[in-house]
Amino acid sequence: VKIHEYQAKRLLKGHGIPVPRGAVAFTAAEAQAAARFLGGERWMVKAQIHAGGRGHAGGVRLVDSLAAIEATAQEMLGKPLVTRQTGPQGLMVRRVYVEEALNPARELYLAVYVDRATARVTILGSPDGGMKIEDDAVRRPGAVVKLPVDPVEGVKLADARTLATRIGAGAEAAPMVAEIAAALYRAFLAFDASLIEINPLALLENGRPMALDARLVLDDNALFRHPDLAALRDDDESTAAELEAARHEINFVAMTGNVGCVVNGAGLGMATLDLLKLRGVEPANFMDIRPVATREQIARGFRMMLGTPNLRCILVNIFGGGIMRCDLVAEGMVLAAREVPVRVPLVVRFAGTNAELGRKHLGNASLKAEFASSLADAAARVARITGDGGGASTRSRAVAHRA
């Protein structure tokens, strides 16, 4: 689960991370009232969406009058904001956060995440915080400093101080930055987070560090332990498709590419996405049929899939097991195809229980599909159809994504 910046800041403040004073607003009038309440002469108005890159897209603005607050909020609210992380259709802005504006002298970067290579919660820092880190992190790998944390010992302040110094905090700021890093680590564990990112961690003119932006991603699998955090889930941020799918025993995640993926099981889904990405193919979404789904529910899901805009191909990757059988998925697909025309090529990989029967069902219904013999074969066929195959650099992508 992702939560909004203002919610993340409130939670992190509770763990001792310094954040600017601010107030959330749902209307332009509320935004102006918020600024009046905060006092001062300059404020930041920040669009609250579940994506970064707002600074480059006009979603973070410095304003210096109450009238300008209202106008700026008016301009942002009720419209989608397109950033390089949202996809071309953008995300609807339904709330803005109004904060006191501060003067950063330097902008650092600090994050806590699980490093897969070392299997450790890791603190990652960079002197190149702010809006250019993504490009810089890829170009200058030396500009990123990692501190893997021993789960038994926790963060050693001496190590955190070394990290702080290496990312450019001076003698005065380094101990404070180290304390913030340690506090972020504690917050990461307390919230069962999967990512905390502070970008920028500003060093203010008075020398003090302050988190000007905060991103907190919570681990869905641990959410049952945090009813208070689960309540922060913002249904507005789920696409209509995701909510509709959930009603039919289907997990649906919208993405920004052009290949629809139908799978059964999250693990199979991840493997499918990885293989496609490896070939430079961009998934449009990810539709995971739960084991309890009926033929009619599968049909509803597949109908939604067929209605996805900008689709160039659909990959159906089903591993039939004891509960979900390939023939049942095929029957659902056939039902859907009777109502919604199939305008894009289908690549189908059926394996396991009733795979052959599933293929036969599609054939009997004259539903044209390329059958793949393996997952790798399926990804290759999809890449051929979409004309991808350069093999995007997944590694640099992963780094950029984290930044």
**Toward ligand GDP, which CB reaches closer, 199 or 297?**
199
> Does residue 108 touch ligand GDP according to CB under 6 A?
no
Phi, psi of 3 (to 5 degrees): -125, 170
User: In this chain, which stretch among 40-48, 209-217, 326-334, 382-390 interacts with Mn ion, using CB under 5 A?
Assistant: 209-217
CB of 166 to Mn ion, least distance (A): 21
We find the least distance from the C-beta atom of residue 301 to Mn ion, in angstroms, to be: 35
- Answer for which of 149, 212, 253, 379 binds ligand GDP (CB under 6 A) is 212
Three-class SS state of 141: helix
User: According to the binding rule CB under 6 A, does residue 107 interact with ligand GDP?
Assistant: yes
Q: Interface with Mn ion includes 213 (CB under 5 A)?
A: yes
Is residue 400 near ligand GDP by the rule CB under 6 A? no
Binding window for Mn ion (CB under 5 A); candidates: 63-71, 192-200, 243-251, 318-326? 192-200
Q: Could you say whether residue 257 binds ligand GDP (CB under 6 A)?
A: no
Nearest to 154 by CA among 183, 114, 125, 177: 183
- Residue 203 CB neighbours (<10 A): 23
x/- track of binding to ligand GDP for residues 12-31 (CB under 6 A): --------x-----------
Span of 7-15, 151-159, 196-204, 276-284 interacting with Mn ion by CB under 5 A:
196-204
Query: Is there binding between residue 52 and ligand GDP (CB under 6 A)?
Result: yes
**Collapsing DSSP states into helix, strand and coil, what is residue 108?**
strand
Contact assessment for residue 21 and residue 35, using Cβ atoms and an 8 Å cutoff: no
DSSP secondary structure, 118-157, as one string: TTEEEEEEES--STTHHHHHHH-GGG-EEEE--TTT---H
Active-site annotation holds for 179: no
Distance CA 316, CA 358 (A): 12
Task: List the structure tokens of 228.
Answer: 């208070």
Q: Per the structure block, which two tokens stand in for 28? A: 């332009």
Ramachandran angles phi, psi of 334, nearest 5°: -65, -45
Residue 303: CA count within 13 A, CB half-sphere:
16
Binding mask 114-153 for ligand GDP (x = CB under 6 A): ----------------xx----------------------
Tokens 């390329």 found at = 370
Question: How many residues bind to ligand GDP according to rule CB under 6 A?
Answer: 20
Choice between 2 and 349, CB closer to Mn ion: 2
- According to the binding rule CB under 6 A, does residue 101 interact with ligand GDP? yes
Q: What DSSP state is assigned to residue 31? A: H
Find the part of the chain contacting ligand GDP (CB under 6 A) among 44-52, 64-72, 183-191, 297-305: 44-52
| Catalytic annotation, pick one of 109, 134, 179, 185 | 109
List CB contacts of 3: < 8 A, sequence separation 6 or more.
11, 50, 216, 218, 229, 232, 233, 234
d(CA 350, CA 319): 6
Alpha helices by DSSP H, listed for 39-173, are 66-76, 133-139, 157-166
Select the residue interacting with ligand GDP from 70, 128, 134, 213 (CB under 6 A): 213
Taking CB under 6 A as the rule, does residue 53 contact ligand GDP?
yes
Q: Is 136 in the site for Mn ion (CB under 5 A)?
A: no
Q: Answer whether 88's CB lies under 8 Å from 82's CB.
A: yes
131 binds, among Mn ion, ligand GDP, none (CB under 5 to 8 A by kind): ligand GDP
- State yes or no: is 197 an active-site residue: yes
The answer to the question of residue 54 lying near ligand GDP (CB under 6 A) is yes
| Rounded distance between C-alpha atoms, residue 45 and residue 25, angstroms | 10
Q: Cis peptide leading into 151, omega within 30 of 0?
A: no
Residues in contact with 394: Cβ distance below 8 Å, sequence separation at least 6, in sequence order:
274, 277, 278
What's the closest the beta carbon of residue 125 comes to Mn ion, in angstroms? 15
Residue 60 binding result from Mn ion, ligand GDP, none, given CB thresholds of 5 to 8 Å by partner type: ligand GDP
Q: Could you tell me the smallest distance in angstroms from the CB atom of residue 85 to ligand GDP?
A: 8
The nearer residue to Mn ion, 4 or 312, going by C-beta atoms, is 4
Q: 277: part of which helix (H) or strand (E)? A: helix 266-278
Q: Which two tokens stand for residue 360?
A: 């036969």
Nearer to ligand GDP, 60 or 304 (CB): 60
Query: Residue 257's binding partner, choosing from Mn ion, ligand GDP, none, with beta-carbon cut-off 5 to 8 A by kind?
Result: none
Query: Which residues in this chain contact ligand GDP in the complex, by CB under 6 A?
Result: 20, 44, 46, 52-55, 60, 62, 101-104, 107, 130-131, 199-200, 212-213
Q: Which residues are identified as catalytic?
A: 109, 197
